Amino acid sequence: MNISISAAIVLFAVTWFMVFFVVLPLRLVTQGDAGEVVPGTPKSAPADFNLKRKMKITTFWAIGVFAVIQTIIMSGWITIDDLAALRQMTSGAGN
């Protein structure tokens, strides 16, 4: 099965953002935890947030997750027909 470049780019972008939202709260130190709350900000605001580092970690893990998903798609282990059958099984359960 061939996949277009644009489909691969979209898949990577979706994967990257999903991983990013998982990585964001990891090892988060809030201003309340650090004991130095900047006036006008909530205690839950990040104390020392390094977006570049989070983006690097996200990219590293997203490449791995993307490779696994891409392999599954390209190998045909899971197809659109499999997803349609799964949808029919779950939609019949509610009736």
Mean confidence (pLDDT) of the chain: 89
The model's pTM is 0.77
Greatest C-alpha distance within the chain: 57
Enumerate the domain spans of the chain.
5-93
Q: What span, in angstroms and rounded, lies between the C-alpha atoms of 69 and 60? A: 15
Average pLDDT, stretch 57-74? Answer: 95
Average pLDDT, stretch 51-73? Answer: 96
With cut-offs at 50, 70 and 90, classify the pLDDT of residue 54.
very high
Phi, psi of 38 (to 5 degrees): -75, 130
Confidence at residue 83, expressed as pLDDT on a 0 to 100 scale: 76
With cut-offs at 50, 70 and 90, classify the pLDDT of residue 71.
very high
* 76 vs 12: which has the higher pLDDT: 12
> 62: buried, middle or exposed (CB in 10 Å: 19+, 13-18, 0-12)?
buried
